[in-house]
Amino acid sequence: TQLLEQSPQFLSIQEGENLTVYCNSSSVFSSLQWYRQEPGEGPVLLVTVVTGGEVKKLKRLTFQFGDARKDSSLHITAAQPGDTGLYLCAGIDYKLSFGAGTTVTVRA
């Protein structure tokens, strides 16, 4: 059972457009992580958010953690084909609890 709900499930956009993916939880997590996974590879950590209301930027990627620490979003500005992949959010306790992910396709 996935405690974390991610939306949308699929997203296909043109190069240069912006996109936002969402992660919502039924539980409060002490911290939350975002990963990107490419076909045939394991997930790679993008960011960890810890404080409610926190905003982190990683080049063209902006991550927000909700005030109540139950939701998060990932915004990509001016998407590029290299941003294509499966984006996973994961809540952290003694283990990672992953959402089902959002498959992002950026068309050249």
Residue numbers at the binding site for another protein (CB under 8 A):
2, 4, 6, 30-31, 40-45, 48, 88, 90, 92-101
Q: Tell me how far apart the terminal alpha carbons of the chain are, to the nearest angstrom.
A: 36
Q: How far apart are CA 68 and CA 94, in angstroms?
A: 20
DSSP state of 56: E
Nearer of residues 10 and 14 to another protein, judged by Cβ: 10
| Token pair listed for 69 | 């620490």
Nearer of residues 14 and 95 to another protein, judged by Cβ: 95
In sequence order, the 6+-apart residues with CB closer than 8 A to the CB of 59 are none
* Minimum CB distance to another protein, residue 16 (Å): 28
* Minimum CB distance to another protein, residue 73 (Å): 17
* Minimum CB distance to another protein, residue 38 (Å): 10
